[in-house]
Every structure is written in C-alpha cells, then in structure tokens.
Structure 1
Amino acid sequence: MTDELLARHRAVMPSWMSLLYEEPIEIVHAHDRRMTDSQGRTYLDFFAGVLTNSMGYDVAEIGDAVRKQLDTGILHTSTLYLIRSQVELAERIAKLSGIPDAKVFFTNSGSEANDTALMLATQYRRSNQVLAMRNSYHGRSFGTVAITGNRGWSASALSPVKVNYVHGGYRYRSPFRDLPDAAYIDACVADLQDVLDTATAGDVACLIAEPIQGVGGFSLPPDGLFRAMKEVLDAYGVLFISDEVQTGWGRTGEHFWGIEAHGVTPDMMTFAKGLGNGLAVGGVVARGEVLDCFQAQSFSTFGGNPVSMAGATAVLDYIKDHNLQANCAARGAQLLSGLQAANSPLVAEVRGKGLMIGVELIKPGTTEPNVPAAARMLEETKNRGLLIGKGGLHGNVLRLGPPMTLTADEAQEGLNILVDALKATHAALA
C-alpha cells in the first residue's frame, strides 16, 4: 500500500517536494505525542510537523473549539466582514508582542507572513534594499526565497528585492567562531556596519532575522547580538523584523518570543506554525504606522478565518493554562544535557534553547559536515520508534522540535533512542 501511494505521489507531485526516509511513511492516526503509520507502527514525535503541531495531537480543548465554530456553519466569511474571533486574537497578540501601538494582520503561513512583512518594510521605507542573515530561511514564496541565505533552499536567483547578507546567525562555521561572546557580537556588528556603508545605497528597508535559525539547523548567536545590531539599524532608520515562525509562543523556554533573549523590541514580528497546532494560520504584528503604510486597498481571503482563529485562541489558552513555556525550558535542558553527556565522536555541537535543539554531525576528528551520518540517523531513530528532522546548510544537522507538551518520561525515551542511534550510526559508518 505504501509503495503504491509513493508511486502515485511521484507521478503527480513535483520532484522537489522531498520526503523523509528511504521508505517514506504515511501517518494515519495520532494522539498526544505519538503518531501511527499505515503499517501500524507507532512513533514518538520529536519533530511535530516541523514544529507546527506544538500542542501534540488529539487535544480536546483545541478540537472542541474548532468543532464549536464548525457547528455555526461558518468556515469562512473573508476579511470584508467583521470577525469577532479575529479581532480578539489580534488584541491578545498585539499585547503579547510588546511592540508599541501594535496592529496585526493574519495570513495563511509563515511564507506569506514574511512576504507581507517585506512588502510593508519596502513600502514604508520606499526602498527595495533588504538585509538578511547568512544561513537563514524565510519561506517558499518568490519574495522569501529571495531573502533566504541558505543555498539548499534558494530555488531562484531572481528577486523582487536587492539583498545583502550579514554574519551572525550561524556561529559554528563563522569566521568569528573562536571569539568570545562579546567580541563575536562586536565583529558581527562591524560587518553589518560595513555592509551598510559599502554594499548598499544607504536607504535600506529592513533587516530580517530568525532569533534561532530553523531550517539552518537551530543555530543561534550569543544573546544580545540583535540588540547591538538594532542600535546600528536605528541610526539609519532601518526596520528590524524578527521572524518568529519557529521561535514564538514560548518554545524557547526562557522567553515567549525568541527575540526577547536579545533584550530588544523589533519593529515587526512574523509568526505562524505553532499558533495553529496544524491549522493554517500566520501573521504579522508591527507598529501601527508600519502596518498602516499601504496606500492601496488589500484584504485576505483566508487569513484570519473563523476556524483558524478559534483553534489558535485555544492554543494560546492551552499554553498559558498548562505553563508550557516552563515545560519547554525543563524538557529542553533535559535533552541538551543528555545529548552533550553522550559525547559521541559524530557530534560537533549540541545547541539550542528549550525544545529547539540542533545536533551538528561531523566526520570524527574533523569539522567536515557528515551528511551520510545525518541520513543514517533518521533511519536509525525511525527504526527505533522516534521521528526527528534534519537541516543545516549542508544537511548534516539533526533537528529536534517535539510538541511543547512533551513529558519528562517521553523526553528520556527519545533521548535513549538518540544516544543508541548515534552509537549505531558511528559503528555503521566507521
């Protein structure tokens, strides 16, 4: 059955829409943090649909909220009509953002949210010049591919904006990697200043950055980098956009938004993924004058639809009621310390915050990316009942982003599998 479905998939789906595993799986049922495939095998989920199923699966409070909306018969009205749940959720997000006089616009995805933020910044600043981080990823749309600093995800060299990339987000392979934190920040800020002074016409629209680079392998700079960068940006009037598509809603544990670790308030934040727990929802929260800068009419057909708003509101309530930010901090510390203690010769670095953990794999005794080991690790963990992801500039980083509801016992179960799989992978590739 799986082979037949795979053949049909390949016949009608694009070749660039990749699937995980040598033998891809079809998920047919899920509950809590476990998923079952069409062959009846059950897995502990440590990737959460790319950090989207943030609460896990079959959560009664979220299902009940969605069913209540479905019972009204209204799945969609469009933003041409008042939507009470949209206004109420926007009010909550505006307050949570910490951005002064904030307004919110809802979209269907992170790509669309980042594309909207780009359009707002370039309109507000009357400039098509954009700064982005090396090793970054911001989406699949034409505009967001243009600002993605990771060759593996840059499908086109064509661009609606002029982009320059700056250092800072990926420390392990940075030319400044051996500097202490303060000196690393100084070097990256000096690079930003140099790019502004030499590679641009001066009137740059924005810098967009992920507090923790998701597709880039959960890489992150020292805390405080973006505060120091924003001081430079403010001197030029350049807007700062924090891409919180993967880092938002308390997943990093120590803060509700990833950017808070840097002690700075951005001009705009984009969000998506975990807010919907599988429902299509994204958006931009920004200073009111920035979000209001369009001189033409616009609306969103599906963005902020009543069903997604009901589910997203229930997700926010669930995060608060179950103190999931604290749970992310505790479970993340458990996984980080356990992986670091494993001391595998394949592992160059275990990094991240909360339940965003990257494990960079190298060929033992070198810093050379170990792509075969990452591929093998996905198979070894799957065979032991654990689903993980991979990413990084070279595809050699294991990505762990379990649902935020992960329990201590489940964290230990997943950790044991990971350590065992590292040993098996090292032995197989030695």
Structure 2
Amino acid sequence: MSKKVCMVVAYHPFLDARIFKKEAKSLQKMGYDVSMIVPRKNGNLFDIDGTPFKKSFRSNVFIHEGIKIVTYHAEKTRKSLNKVLSSEDVWETEGFNNPLTNLAMAEDADIYHTHEYLSLFAGIGIKRRMQKEKEKKVKLIYDSHELTPDPLHPRTSEEKRKNLEDKLFIMLKEVDYLITVSDSIKDWYIARMPDLPIEVIYNSPPLIKDVELKAYEGSQLTVGYEGNITHHKGNQEKIFGISEICSQKLDFQFKIIGGSQFGTPLKIPKHLTTIIKQTGWVDYHSIPKHMQAIDIGWIDLEEVHYSLNSDYALPNKFFSYLNNGVPVVVNKCQEMENFIRKHKCGYVIQKQQADAKDFANAFLYLKRNPEKLEKMSKNGRKVMEEIYSWEEMEKRLAGVYAKLLPTP
C-alpha cells in the first residue's frame, strides 16, 4: 500500500509551480498517494495570476492530473490560524480546530507537507491532534519558500516580528524536516537551530531538451521578463524606461511573459507599443517556447527598504532563464550575485535600487560584448544540466521523503 502525502496550503494557488507542478507531481511519480488541501477565496479557487476560477473547479473535492484536491474556505479558517500569535494554551483551545486542519486530518496521511507560516501552524495542530485523537505519529515538513517573518521587513513592527519569530521556533521544534529554496535561507535556520534537518530544493524547472544556444549576432536585442509585475518585481515604469533608452540605441524589443495580477495587460505608452510585447500568462510547460526569442533575462528585486527575503532569493524566473541558455541581469541581491559570480552566467548591477538607466546601460554594454553574452549563455545552461535542474532537485526531494518514511 502506497504511503500518503498531504500538501497543506494556506494561501498559494493550487496550481502553484513549486507545490503542484513540481513537488506534488514528482511525489506522485515516485509512487506516493498525494492529496492537497487548498484555499478558496470568496468561494473560488484562483489561478497563478490571482484570477478566480468561476466556471471550473467548482467541486469541494476533485481529482486533477491524478492528485486529489480538497478545498476549504479561507475566510472560515483565518481567525483560527491567526491564533498562532497567542499562547500555546490558546493554540490548543482555539487554533487547531479549523477547516484546514480538520480536512487534512481526514486524509489520514503519513507525511504532511506545509508551505507557509500559517499552514505550518495548521501542521502543528495536525501532528498533535493525530497523535492525541488517532494515536498516529505523522511526519511534518515545513517548505519555507521564504523567511517568515523577514527579520528586516519594514512594515512589521519589532514587537510583532519578535512574536512571530518566537512562535516560529516553537513550531520548528516539532518539524521533522525543513525544506527551503536557497543556501542563505538554509544558513539562517542552521545558525539558530543547528540540529534541524534541512535540505535546499531550488525553484528550478525540468531540464529543457535540445536548447539551441544564442549566437548573439546582428544588431537586434530582446530583453525578457517572466512573472508578476508589481512595484518591486518587474516595475512597469522601469520596463518603459529601459525600452525608451535602449530603443534609441539599437533594434530593441522587450518581451513580457506573464504580467500584472489578474492578467490585466499593461497600458503601454503609444510610442512603445511596437517595442514592448506581452504574451500574458501562459501555461507553465510553454514558457521555454516563449523564451526562445529572449537574449537576456531581467530580474529586479527592488525594495524601498532593505529586505532579507530579496537578498536571499533565487526566484523561479532566475532558473527559467538559465534553463533556456538566457543570461541574467539583476540588481544587487546577495544570493543571485553569489550564484552569478560562481557560475559566470549573468551580470550584477552594484546597486540594490537600480533604475531604468542602470539596467539599460547594462544591456547596451552586454550587446557591445557578444562574446561575454555567449559565454554566459553556455555557462548558465551547463550548470542547469549538471546541478540545478528539477530532475536533480527531485532526487533531493526523494531523499527527504526516504529519510522520513524509510522502506522496511
């Protein structure tokens, strides 16, 4: 009989690339029986760009691509999950009896795999209640996609941040394995809890086969951006500024794969409509096809105030570019800078807050040095083939599960 895994989700969309497309599907392929407990908002599940599914996925429980999806109403759970900031006595009396915890327990899984600070809290409740009510010892994984709380987040008061961190370390004492997304985040945890079992599983995609590397010949240059466009990720004003500057110097295109939340197209200034192209949100597996036209990938994790999560990030798009042999240009963020310097696969602007002119100058410089771009392209693709592809991450994921559920 196959072992059961339950993914416990507090706010991510159920089709999230890391949770569903990679981890859940990989575990299914390994032979685990996988289910997911996922939130509805205002009665709807939602797509990766935040758009609600109003005509599909209406059943409370359904099977999608062989994985059981169990849904709950986020609004009915939020009050209980927010008890994480209360004392442990309140956890037991008011925090752990909620739809997310109850539905997860009903799955009677062997491993519960949580993905956010609040789903970790639900996971603590699941683990304690399964032992008390069913006399079953289950394993608990915390998949820390980022640091919560961010020790340097400017919008969190010092008092609240300390409370969140104190509660985090109480919860981590009951975690059987921690997974995270970058070496810097791993080091942050190890410095505070040296005995906590931990593995880094990068946000990398499956390896694309037969990638034709760029030649970087001719006068044309296409810069690309993949993902959400917000004020601090893919800032639209910077896209307009970069396109304005670069298009005056050469035959330039800016390609956006993804866009703003809810799929609303950017309102592009009229004189830039032939320069900036938008695909909108596309299927996860079709991203490589859209990457073929991109020469350089752009990442800008600008924070008005310094953020440790930005400094420690290795986002999905970073590996997506490299997977397709696309060099990356980034602002100064510790983890991406370390990676780029180690593998020589991109260019780092030495500013945490780089403006459109800074990025444009970097793109123009690289265009004038095609041999550098060509070398970066080859290096990025090579490290994906040898070290960082999802196929390699899948082995790490399998190793974590094997340690928690060893074969008799």
**Structure 2 length as normaliser, TM-score?**
0.28
If asked which structure has higher relative contact order (CA below 8 Å, sep 6+), I would say 1
**Structure 1 length as normaliser, TM-score?**
0.27
